[in-house]
Chain A
Amino acid sequence: MNLHEYQARDILRRHGIPVPPGEVASTAAEARAIAERLGGKVVVKAQVHAGGRGKAGGVKLAKTAAEAETHAKAILGMTIKGLTVQKVLIAPAAEIASESYVGIIVDRASQRPVLMVSPAGGIDIEEVAATTPEKIHRLAIDPRYGLLQHQALALGFQLYSDVKQARAAADIMQKLYTAVYAVGASLAEINPLVTTPDGTVQALDAKIAIDDSELERRPEIAALRDVSAEAAAEVAAREAGLTFIKLEGDVGCCVNGAGLAMATMDLVKYYGGEPANFLDIGGSSNPQKVVAALRIITSDPNVKSILFNIFGGITRGDDVANGIVQATKAFPLRVPIVIRLTGTNEKEGIAILERAGFAAVSDMDDAVKQAVAKAKGKAA
């Protein structure tokens, strides 16, 4: 789960990291009131889960409160990479002497949290990694001892030659590390970490992603979820206990297991079709999940055929079959359906489907070929 910049800034502030003031507004009038309170020049920043906000016109400088209101009016409701801006952050326009990068990710190869710092801040770190990798300094942290003071200070000196600033940066790094474990972050970035003309080190912009597996035990973090920033179908799927990702094709896929779901999408493409979605109904089967899955798939107007690919392990074929039959009683499927069912309780499942007038296929390739043909309006 990605947090908005204003939410990430709040978390940093609560962990003692210096963050310039700033407040979030949902209306242009609120934006004006905040700008008046802050006084002087402000920046108006769109709060959406997308990079490249500046280029898209989602970040504007305002000299007066009235101008902040005008900019907020333009930015609120704007669409950036398919996402509608619902909130703007109003913050003082800081005078910047230098920009650096500080970030912590959980690294798969070393299996540790890795601290990355770079004096090349203010741009995407992936870009720095691609063009000037020598400007990125990395440290794998031993989670038993945490980020040690001398380690942080050594990295602080990679950013600043002034000892006061190096110490300030080191302190920020240690606090960021504490914040990562406190909120369950899989990524926490300060970009840019700036120095102002008077030499103060501050976190100007922040990005935090929370590990979804942390949300159950951290209700206060889960409450930060902004459902308006996500596709409605994906929200509905999550609430039904399904994993769903919408794609651009026309073959609606419903599969048990993430790996098999990906392989099914790939096979649709292999046979000349385009998958409409990724959908994993998960391990333990429940007819209600299947009903919810079919409701989500059929609500996509692009879908021209539905493909079920079920390899029963924990998932039982009869449960899936019952779900399909229940769904067709509750709402029309609208498009042809091809069902591949094998594994646990395969016979029981096929019998249920046949009684309801459906046929089942036992081979994955056959099922995918039929579903692709049906999406193209051909008889299989």
Chain B
Amino acid sequence: MSIFIDHATRLVVQGITGRDGSFHAKQMMAYGTKVVAGVTPGKGGQRFEDTVPVFNTVAEAVHETKANAAVIYVPAAVAASAIFEAADAGLGLIVCITEGIPVLDMTRALPYVHERGSRLIGPNCPGLISPGRSKVGIIPGNICEPGKIGVVSRSGTLTYEIIHQLSTNGLGQSTCVGIGGDPLIGTNFVHCLTAFEADPETAAIVMIGEIGGTDEQQAAEFVKESVKKPVVGFIAGQTAPPGRRMGHAGAIISGSSGTAAEKMTALANAGISVMKRPADVVPLLKERL
């Protein structure tokens, strides 16, 4: 088992003929992901890499190929529209990689997705990977190893750093999920912790948060109440100044709330082992396993 994606995932790539979409579609296919369709309006009828059929709409792609998940690589200006379209086509999982979607667009897209029972991961995220089974998004497959650690993170490259530490020390991963660095996202820490807690193949969980918002504090409360598996946590941004957006749209200390110190305390109070630096992940996990 794994969470959210596995061998049964049949993926449609929205924006498959674009620069990023085509590059990553090839990477996902090479990794073994079942890429069953692509969508680019106006390019319906073509084949991507001579194999994957391209459609004008997501609905056609789903009808023809029985796709059950979508990944979105389209530009920010049309990305919210791509999310609406994927939800309308009845896809259960929608992963949006695109960065820079206006937050007001997301205030409309999120209820639309939730009402249709879809799960959105992202936006502004690296996607997810269940090592050896399927990858949806852009996480480099070569740094991951199959195993029992579940990883959930608001970041991209920082997640790669942590995965790299795990893999080179013999700790493989069940699933690694990048939930995204935006203030409004479809899947949060609590959703992922719930899924990892229920997944028999996950033995321990690593959560990587950052400054801004209160998602980590809510996750800490949830861990205290409902998670029996060991959890190890990291918070980026201990040296971030207040009031400045640290790259991610959601990484901002507003007034005195959302600081790294406040989040690290919340995690520690919930019995989560808190890393001081990324390299602490392996020793802390080994203590708890």
Please give the residue numbers on chain A whose beta carbons come within 8 Å of chain B beta carbons, in ascending order: 106, 108-109, 111-113, 126, 142-144, 180-181, 184, 186, 211-214, 216-217, 243, 245, 247, 255-263, 265-270, 275, 278, 280, 283-284, 311-315, 342-344, 364-365
A108 to B251, CA, bound (A): 12
Closest beta carbon of chain B to A249's beta carbon, Å = 9
Q: Which chain A residues border B260 with CB–CB below 8 Å? A: 266
Nearest residue, chain B, Cβ from A142: B111
A378 to B164, CA, bound (A): 30
Q: Which chain A residues border B140 with CB–CB below 8 Å? A: 312-313, 343-344
Closest beta carbon of chain B to A204's beta carbon, Å = 23
What are the 7 closest A-B residue pairs judged by CB atoms, nearest first?
Answer: A259-B155, A258-B247, A257-B157, A259-B158, A262-B236, A260-B157, A280-B247
Q: Which chain B residues border A257 with CB–CB below 8 Å? A: 155-158, 247
* Contact across chains for A278 and B246 when beta carbons are under 8 A apart: yes
Interface string of B206-231 (1 = CB under 8 A from A): 00101101110010000000000000
What are 22 pairs between A and B in contact, CB < 8 Å? Answer: A108-B213, A109-B214, A143-B108, A180-B104, A211-B104, A214-B102, A247-B241, A257-B155, A258-B251, A259-B210, A259-B247, A260-B160, A260-B161, A262-B211, A262-B240, A262-B251, A266-B236, A268-B239, A278-B246, A313-B126, A343-B140, A343-B164
* Contact across chains for A258 and B277 when beta carbons are under 8 A apart: no
* Contact across chains for B107 and A113 when beta carbons are under 8 A apart: yes
Q: Which of A108, A144, A263, A266 contacts B161 (CB 8 A)?
A: A263
* Contact across chains for A245 and B244 when beta carbons are under 8 A apart: yes
Nearest residue, chain A, Cβ from B126: A313
Q: Which of B76, B255, B278 contacts A213 (CB 8 A)?
A: B76
A247 to B241, CA, bound (A): 8
* Contact across chains for A262 and B100 when beta carbons are under 8 A apart: no
Q: Which chain B residues border A364 with CB–CB below 8 Å? A: 161, 278-279
* Contact across chains for A260 and B107 when beta carbons are under 8 A apart: no
A313 to B137, CA, bound (A): 11
* Contact across chains for B159 and A259 when beta carbons are under 8 A apart: yes
Q: Which of B102, B164, B210, B279 contacts A311 (CB 8 A)?
A: B164
Q: Which chain A residues border B249 with CB–CB below 8 Å? A: 211-213
Closest beta carbon of chain B to A264's beta carbon, Å = 9
Number of interface residues of B (CB under 8 A): 60
Please give the residue numbers on chain B whose beta carbons come within 8 Å of chain A beta carbons, in ascending order: 20, 76-77, 99-104, 106-108, 110-111, 126, 138-140, 143, 153-161, 164, 181, 183-184, 208, 210-211, 213-215, 218, 234, 236-241, 244-251, 255, 260, 276-279
Closest beta carbon of chain B to A313's beta carbon, Å = 5
Given A259-B155, A260-B161, A262-B236; A270-B277 close (CB under 8 Å): yes
* Contact across chains for B153 and A259 when beta carbons are under 8 A apart: yes
* Contact across chains for A111 and B214 when beta carbons are under 8 A apart: no
Q: Which chain B residues border A278 with CB–CB below 8 Å? A: 240, 244, 246-247
* Contact across chains for B159 and A365 when beta carbons are under 8 A apart: no
Closest beta carbon of chain B to A38's beta carbon, Å = 34
Q: Which chain B residues border A343 with CB–CB below 8 Å? A: 140, 143, 160, 164
* Contact across chains for B183 and A108 when beta carbons are under 8 A apart: yes
* Contact across chains for B248 and A258 when beta carbons are under 8 A apart: yes
Nearest residue, chain A, Cβ from B255: A126
* Contact across chains for A259 and B208 when beta carbons are under 8 A apart: yes
Given A247-B241, A313-B139; A259-B156 close (CB under 8 Å): yes
* Contact across chains for B239 and A269 when beta carbons are under 8 A apart: yes
Nearest residue, chain B, Cβ from A51: B243
* Contact across chains for B139 and A106 when beta carbons are under 8 A apart: no
Q: Which chain A residues border B211 with CB–CB below 8 Å? A: 262
A314 to B126, CA, bound (A): 10
> Besides A243-B247, A312-B140, 4 other CB < 8 A contacts?
A143-B107, A211-B249, A257-B247, A278-B244
Q: Which chain B residues border A184 with CB–CB below 8 Å? A: 102, 104
A314 to B244, CA, bound (A): 26
Closest beta carbon of chain B to A268's beta carbon, Å = 8
A186 to B248, CA, bound (A): 15
Nearest residue, chain B, Cβ from A109: B214
* Contact across chains for B247 and A108 when beta carbons are under 8 A apart: no
* Contact across chains for A186 and B246 when beta carbons are under 8 A apart: no
Closest beta carbon of chain B to A195's beta carbon, Å = 28
Closest beta carbon of chain A to B230's beta carbon, Å = 22
* Contact across chains for A263 and B236 when beta carbons are under 8 A apart: yes
